[in-house]
A and B are shown apart, each in its own frame.
Chain A
Amino acid sequence: MLEFLTREFPATWRLPLRGWTNDAVNWLLLNYGDVFRGFTETLLQVLLRVERFLSALPWWLVVLLVALLVWHATARSWWTAATLAGLMVLVGSFGLWASMMTTLAIMLVATIFTIVLGIPAGIAMARSDRLKRLFRPLLDGMQTMPSFVYLVPVVMFFGLGNVAAIIATFVYAVPPIIRLTDLGLRLVDKEVMEAADAFGASERQALFLVRLPLAVPTIMAGINQTIMMALAMVVVASMIGARGLGQEVLRGLQRGDVGLGLEAGLAIVIVAVVMDRVTAGYSRRWDHTLEER
């Protein structure tokens, strides 16, 4: 009767998740390989264009544009703009300018890709409590699952290189933008929503004229988190073939070149700080619930 109450876990209780997963992956590769290849090719072309554009810009123009952007985002903080511009020049002086542009290009494409898919997912989640209950454990899983677990299938589907890196970054970095879009939409003042209804706004009008504009600061905070998480993936992404600063860190590791590792690491931190100041700045500037400064 109760023979399974042994010390050892019964060997016959075996859920073949491993087999199922491998079968599913193989089946997908066999039947939809072309779809994945086509997708990879498209994303690669986009990435190449962005990268070519960024590398074609003279370095001083990039520094100037970034400084202007920071200055605008932080409500005219000269000091922040000048400091960050100086830090970018510092990266150039490490001989890492080209790598930084490559990383910036991958980041830009990965972030836009993540946002374009994440915001609609967040909107859907805010509309339906059932979907929210379904999404929550999924998002938790995406954030806590060790990234090495999905690196392998990502490489199988998208090949080694920048596209695989973008997809892996997406998996890791999409949860905050989804979560905060949902939160921002749900946080919109109840009376303001009532007003939209009372004036006969359709669901679409209420979303685009009222809820999304009011959720912008929260969504920007989500974009900020997403970018920060994407930057945390730069080195891991280089393990599956992404070029740029992550590659330099790995090279430093392999050669035991601590100095190179530090320089590349600092460069990543500097990119992160720039991105953080810009997005956090806009998040605050577009928050209409804050008092006028």
Chain B
Amino acid sequence: MPHLEARRLTKVFGPDPDSVLPLLRDGVGKDEILERTGHTVGLQAVDMTVEPGETFVVMGLSGSGKSTLVRCVNRLIEPTTGTLRLDDTDVLALSSGALRELRRRRMGMVFQRFALLPHRSVLDNVSFGLQVQGVPRAERERRAGAWVERVGLQGYERALPRELSGGMQQRVGLARALCTDPEVLLMDEAFSALDPLIRREMQDELLRLQAELGKTIVFITHDLDEALRLGDRVAVLKDGLLVQVGTPAEIVMHPADDYVRAFVEHVDRSRVLKVRHVMCTAAAGSPLANGSALAEGVRLQANMPLHEALALVASASEAAIVVDTSGRTVGRLDARTALSALVRGHGEPSR
């Protein structure tokens, strides 16, 4: 069962959103609706499921509705129609008190411009969620202190946010969101305001924490590299419409339309794709199965990035054997297959 599930989630901004819904159902576009009615379409019938422990990345150009989508999840923005479930909870049916309780205990959020409380120390920022829950000071400082350390800010407990660099400030933002131990982490362009190097560092930090914590994460970004790096699955949003959802490899290999293609066109495929995405699988009865002929060939890990594998297969005369983590043969890869996968329009992964 998915952890988070949105069905036909729709948001229209304007004085009378309901009046616009029939037009949306008839397939009238966002621009035309704006022109005819003065209403802005934020989201159009978005279907989305996020599995427990999954990092689900939502990508799209500016104005495509990413922030609207993530804010609908905790109802900072009230959806116009649709349903939203968190496990068994019908989120959109919650009273304001129950919604507050849900935000306090089950969801954490990280913001693009950090949104720290400038008058509070690092420790008091991190413990904000616990304070709102009514946790006594001593306990919340103990728990917050542990998180400050966990994101690598020990020694800065008493510092004010303005005394920290951008990257450090967002570490505080991350610790603040994690401190209440929420099930779901909502991250709206959390790293977009950071310099490229710091940004990468923060991505690594998130991957490291996520490996330990296994939170369900909805991560918003406009950056493809970031999406492919962090996402278990990536959803592409255009004018409030989800145009494609898939694994990073699926998005890169099979863009659903020109919009997605424009995104992935210039990506370095050799870094996104893994050997397992492009190899020829070992079907039963194929020459591979009686592996004797290939016994002394190159061996590749299925999860090896393609650019590393290329260096190995390029010099080999025969196809390399692909093995999974337990050493079992799962396929083979030759230089030609590997190369054609890097060229647009070729390289259908063999399934």
A199 touches B160 (CB 8 A): no
Partner of B103, one of A192, A200, A209: A200
A214 touches B119 (CB 8 A): yes
Chain B positions 109-133 with a Cβ under 8 Å from a chain A Cβ: 109, 111-113, 115-119, 128-129, 131-133
CB within 8 Å for A291 and B162 given contacts A210-B117, A213-B119, A214-B118: yes
Chain A CB within 8 A of B100 CB:
yes
Cβ–Cβ < 8 Å partners of A197 in chain B: 76, 103
Chain B positions 254-310 with a Cβ under 8 Å from a chain A Cβ: none
A292 touches B109 (CB 8 A): no
Chain A positions 162-206 with a Cβ under 8 Å from a chain B Cβ: 189, 191-192, 194-195, 197-202, 205
CB within 8 Å for A200 and B115 given contacts A194-B76, A288-B160: no
A201 to B104, CA, bound (A): 8
Chain B CB within 8 A of A31 CB:
no
CB within 8 Å for A189 and B115 given contacts A198-B74, A202-B100: yes
Cβ–Cβ < 8 Å partners of B116 in chain A: 192, 195
Cβ–Cβ < 8 Å partners of A201 in chain B: 100, 132
Question: How many residues in B have their beta carbons less than 8 Å from beta carbons of A?
Answer: 30
Chain B CB within 8 A of A289 CB:
yes
Cβ–Cβ < 8 Å partners of B129 in chain A: 199-200
Chain A CB within 8 A of B31 CB:
no
CB distance from B283 to the nearest CB of A (A): 50
CB distance from B245 to the nearest CB of A (A): 25
B132 touches A288 (CB 8 A): no
Cβ–Cβ < 8 Å partners of A205 in chain B: 132
Q: How many A-B contacts are there with CB distance less than 8 Å? A: 70
Cβ–Cβ < 8 Å partners of B101 in chain A: 200
> What class of interface size applies to chain A in its complex with B?
20 to 34
Cβ–Cβ < 8 Å partners of A202 in chain B: 100, 132
Cβ–Cβ < 8 Å partners of B103 in chain A: 197-200
CB within 8 Å for A289 and B117 given contacts A195-B109, A199-B109: no
Chain A CB within 8 A of B90 CB:
no
B104 touches A191 (CB 8 A): no
Chain A CB within 8 A of B180 CB:
yes
Cβ–Cβ < 8 Å partners of B76 in chain A: 194, 197-198
A209 touches B131 (CB 8 A): yes
CB within 8 Å for A198 and B113 given contacts A209-B131, A288-B160, A289-B118: no
B111 touches A194 (CB 8 A): yes
Chain A CB within 8 A of B163 CB:
yes
Partner of A288, one of B108, B109, B118: B118
Cβ–Cβ < 8 Å partners of A289 in chain B: 118, 162
Partner of A199, one of B113, B118, B163, B180: B180
Cβ–Cβ < 8 Å partners of B118 in chain A: 192, 214, 288-289
A194 to B117, CA, bound (A): 11
A202 to B128, CA, bound (A): 13
A216 to B117, CA, bound (A): 13
Chain A CB within 8 A of B313 CB:
no
Cβ–Cβ < 8 Å partners of B117 in chain A: 192, 195, 209-210, 213-214
CB distance from B303 to the nearest CB of A (A): 35
Chain A CB within 8 A of B46 CB:
no
A192 to B173, CA, bound (A): 11
Cβ–Cβ < 8 Å partners of B100 in chain A: 200-202
A214 to B161, CA, bound (A): 14
A189 to B113, CA, bound (A): 10
Cβ–Cβ < 8 Å partners of A286 in chain B: 119
A200 touches B132 (CB 8 A): yes
CB distance from A80 to the nearest CB of B (A): 25
B133 to A, closest residue via Cβ: A200
Chain A CB within 8 A of B69 CB:
no
A214 to B119, CA, bound (A): 7
B111 touches A195 (CB 8 A): yes
Chain A CB within 8 A of B107 CB:
yes
B128 touches A199 (CB 8 A): yes
B179 to A, closest residue via Cβ: A199
A191 touches B115 (CB 8 A): yes
Query: Chain B 56-79 against A: per-residue CB contact (8 Å), 1 yes, 0 no?
Result: 000000000000000000101000
A290 to B, closest residue via Cβ: B162
Show the binding face of B for A, using Cβ within 8 Å: 74, 76, 100-105, 107-109, 111-113, 115-119, 128-129, 131-133, 160, 162-163, 176, 180, 186
Q: List 5 A-B contacts (CB under 8 A).
A: A191-B113, A194-B111, A197-B76, A198-B74, A214-B119
Show the binding face of A for B, using Cβ within 8 Å: 189, 191-192, 194-195, 197-202, 205, 209-210, 213-214, 216, 286, 288-289, 291-292
* Apart from A195-B117, A200-B105, 18 more pairs, CB < 8 Å: A191-B112, A192-B118, A194-B115, A195-B111, A195-B116, A198-B108, A199-B103, A199-B104, A199-B109, A200-B104, A200-B129, A200-B133, A202-B100, A209-B128, A214-B118, A216-B119, A288-B162, A292-B163
